[in-house]
Structure 1
Amino acid sequence: MKLKKDFKNTIMDSMVVTGIGLGCFYWVCESFMYFFLEPEANFFQYLLGPDIFQIWTRILVLCLLAIFGSHVQYTYNKRKADGDALRESEEKYRTILESIEEGYFETDLEGNLTFFSNPFCKIIGYPRSQLIGVNTRRYTTPETAKKMNRITEKLLDSGMTENITSYDVIRPDGTKVMLELSFSLLENPGEGPSGFKGVLRDVSVRKKTEKEKHKLETQLQQAQKMESIGTLAGGIAHDFNNILMGIQGNASLMLLKIESEHPNYEKIKNIETYVQNGTTLTKQLLGFARRGKYLVKATDLNEIIDKSSALFARTKKEIRVITNLHESIWTVEVDRGQIEQVLLNLYVNAWQAMIDGGDLYLRTENVILDRSYVKPYTVEPGQYVKISITDTGVGIDKTTQQRIFEPFFTTKEMGRGTGLGLASVYGIIKSHGGYINVYSELNRGNDFHYLPAGVG
């Protein structure tokens, strides 16, 4: 086959010589014919012709054949060059399409695929054999298919390229992938629109990264906000405590100078009671402000959880407490009394979320947190003990989650809470160099908090 093709190219490349050769062959044939018709003629008459007319006729035929051969050769070479250029352009175009990460495709006006690149197959997760002639709406979500119907109608009217930032595709394994699509008309000159063309980009990784970045920024902002509130709360608590001590001192002096039968005795005693209540609030504020860590020593958190949960279970019969405590839990350097306060506050918070009773799950485990994980919480990486407290309550909405650790913020009705329980939990955990995270879903609220592991 290659030999025939090379022979053909050789013949076409030498078409001028071929034309001249054919002209000479014609000349020789004419001479032989004249030889048989006029045997008595001489050699020059055989060679040139019997008269001047025959001579010029042969020369004209020779020239015509040479010109014809030259034209055929020129036409062939031009078409061959155009064909080579077209194949080279197509190959270059295909190479570019296959080398970019985006997937290119073309469809007819009905949305059936007529051309697509290999990256296109990779992005949507289907093999090439399953996509030939397939309508694009078959691998998109119903919402995306409806949206594309509207966009194609708009595109046919305006002719302007449409950029779709949310183009959802369902892969063969059932997973949904979020893509971006640049969509435009495919037009033939003088014939109008013949279909559509588009470029797909897989943005699922980018979207996930942006979501994680936003989450980290939100956590960092929340930590900074709580830090500022803690500083403010600590200052207010100290000033308020000084005022209370002044009231307490004066009330005590008045009681020393009057008898119990005095009509104002009970009122002054009430003042002392109110002062004590106010002192309790200031202690909680100081706990939130991380200024109340006192007796720190190596402690087994499993022991604290066992005792505190048993006490809570005896008082709240409608709550079933389920523990899953790590046997070889690391010891931590904590104030035992404050950690007990943290746990009881979280138990009570869970109980209040389970109106008709429910399950309270308590779990401990050893974890090692790297720098990238703890960065939003402004704590040091390393070994931590993780305490997970999970309830089956009504859950917490996203808006409330952002404020539950703020002092005096409460969702309870007037008179049922001060809004300092979770605020003090936050402050105590932070004062021990740990942090607290809250996750919540409908009918399932999870509280995770971490304490740094020390040498006990």
Structure 2
Amino acid sequence: MTQGHDRTSSNSILNQQDRPAHKPTYCAVSDFFSRENIRNVLIYAPVGICILHRMRIHWANPACHAMTGHEYLSLQGKSARTLFPTDKEFKRVHNTFITEIDQTRSATVDSRLSRVDGTAFDCRLRACRLDPGDHSQGLLIFVSDITEIKSEQIRENQARKMEAIGVLAGGISHDFNNLLMALQGHLSLMGVNVNRPEKIKHHIRQINRLIETAAEITGNLLGFARGGKYQVEPLDINQVVEIALTVFQPGKENIVIEKKLDPDLYKVNADRSQLEQMLLNLLVNGAQAMVDGGTLTIATHNITIDATDIFHFAVTPGAYVEISVQDTGIGMDETIQKKIFDPFFSTKIPGDMKGQGLGLSTVFGIVKNHGGFITVESKKNAGSLFRVALPGLAPVDVQRFGEENDAFDLMPKGGETVLIVDDEKEVLQVGADLLDALGYQVLQARNGVECLDLVTKYPGKIVLVILDLVMPVMDGKETFYRIQKLDPGIKMLISSGVSIDEETKMMLRGGCHKFLQKPFSMDRFSRVIREILDKPA
């Protein structure tokens, strides 16, 4: 088919109602490009072939009709939209075709096509222009049914997910069993040393430390699950880096830490504790890679990603803050690099109890949860460079990190009536006891229905409701909206063991005053309560 070939002439080849009476036979290459042979190739091709002109079906071969359930030649003249389940999917494929063909002369898109019976199937569409030099000409589309391939991929992915969940559950149960054993030991020793106050204080300090460790594990899990943004606020990454470096203990005297921090850095909208966890994990990973010591370099700077920049994954163009952590350690080969973000993957010797095996998978989850991305560059015996990019913001004031004070005398107290709602008996009781110790008048409810009964019973008396989210009978979210209708003047604090989701964010925007992640200290609890109650309505 030459550039000046008339489209009507080609149509006379394709639009014959009857199929040839014989199947094509082998012929010399010089004789191949005859009308009859071209027609036979198009008709008997095992893949769908479709010619579009101005996004209307000019012609489609029997295979294309068969896979969509239409009678042969019944699609001719119809809009290509007929073959797609939704307008959105049709527009997506169309835009991709036009963009990629203009750039590379061909395009490949995985999509779904509709059948006559209303079902749909997975397909791979390959497209090129009939005449590359003339954009007014139509498109030649090849359609392959990849349903079985997709199904096999889904089965393989599901198997990998189940295997990962099994590894994850085993690792977490191991860590928590160790923590529970330590807690049980300290509680037993407290009973033995009941008349020795100095020993009791020692055990209390150790129990607090173990609780913090358990909270770190659950924080890692939430980060791994990409749901760990608890308290999002505009942050100065340089301040977060300084805090992480203050906490970081490399454990080796021959490790030199270098900082290269851009003073004019964009702010990022993020959870401070999660970013600190991410940086600490990267720093620890780098230090452990430098067996004989070396240099650990952490740097920050602004970057801009354009639509023309090429990545192996989807990246939204715009301004980003990049945090890089580079070590001069043993490095990694390509095989290891492909696994480093998997949960519980480790290059450590079996039996080495350092770390929980969630370090880099947690980093990956935290970064993705904040809308960013992470890359790694490494070679065997040549160190590693991790780059984290987080979406940047316009300059804003950032509140500095404040240390908590556990001294009871310094904790803010009150005398107002507070209603605490939680379905877990032990959690409800300890929450009530904390409130009572802080001087508040306490009411308790085990679910949303009991909570609403108490709000109705004591109109105008309850000033604050501390509300769990996950409860039977009536959950926290429904309870929240019911309370707003009953008494809009009541202030509300969400206290939950699950992380913030989109619906919780809506509650925070719609009148809820704070979100407090479990577990929390008494000092933190007391300060959040007073912050809510002392804020003007």
Same-fold call, TM cutoff 0.5:
no
- Say which structure is richer in helix: 1
Which protein, 1 or 2, shows the higher relative CO under an 8 Å CA cutoff with sep ≥ 6? Answer: 1
Name the TM-score, length of structure 1 as normaliser: 0.41
The structure with more radius of gyration: 1
